[in-house]
Chains A and B, each alone.
Chain A
Amino acid sequence: DAGITQSPRYKITETGRQVTLMCHQTWSHSYMFWYRQDLGHGLRLIYYSAAADITDKGEVPDGYVVSRSKTENFPLTLESATRSQTSVYFCASSDRAPGTEAFFGQGTRLTVV
């Protein structure tokens, strides 16, 4: 299916565990982003990538790791999950950024217990 897909949609994990959220887009967009959404904070940028093998930190990168070995995939890893990382995570992609529309996935609701 064309578009941007995130997996899993829901995840419950324990404190201290490593967890990876997957993001896949079929448009070959250059730019990809990870945001977290928390009540009262809106969408905060965690990491972004301008192309394969090029990544950079956003507003709230601590505790997260990203990689982009292929243009279409942009996984987000929580190395040692904490309860403060309980959130809804959105992946997005954009073609020929800057100044163009970003397309968002459906989100992953992560609960850290």
Chain B
Amino acid sequence: GENVEQHPSTLSVQEGDSAVIKCTYSDSASNYFPWYKQELGKGPQLIIDIRSNVGEKKDQRIAVTLNKTAKHFSLHITETQPEDSAVYFCAASSTDSSYKLIFGSGTRLLVRP
């Protein structure tokens, strides 16, 4: 089955700097890769996603890149702000009939003012 590895487990950056979180996946059939943000005491919330027919997607300060050959994808946050501090999860799923969303272990991002 699918296995998703996520690095780093913790990341501390200065406000205004960029942050990059990387994930690798094992199942070449996976073709949907979402990123979720989890704030303290809340459930995860989707912030951006990418499908396998697209190499890069941007939404304001966040972007996701996908390399299907290498089976890895990354989240990029530019001009970080204190409110970006949270736990971020990558995930992967296959769009066949046995749909399952498998998550990475999470990255705790701290943006220092």
Residues of A whose CB lies within 8 Å of any CB of B are 31, 33, 35, 40-45, 48, 50, 56, 58-59, 90, 92, 94, 97-99, 101-102, 104-107
One of B96, B103, B105 near A40 (C-beta < 8 A): B105
Asked if A99 and B1 make an inter-chain contact with CB atoms under 8 angstroms apart, the answer reads no
The 9 closest A-B pairs by CB, nearest first: A104-B43, A98-B99, A42-B105, A98-B95, A43-B103, A99-B32, A99-B95, A42-B106, A101-B46
Asked if A106 and B42 make an inter-chain contact with CB atoms under 8 angstroms apart, the answer reads yes
Chain B contacts for A58, CB-based, 8 A: 100
Residues of B whose CB lies within 8 Å of any CB of A are 1, 6, 9, 31-32, 34, 36, 41-46, 49, 51, 89, 91, 93-96, 98-106
Chain B contacts for A94, CB-based, 8 A: 101
Asked if A98 and B94 make an inter-chain contact with CB atoms under 8 angstroms apart, the answer reads yes
Task: Give CA–CA (A56, B100) in the complex, Å.
Answer: 10
- Looking across the interface, which residue of chain B has its beta carbon closest to that of A109? B41
CB distance from B28 to the nearest CB of A (A): 16
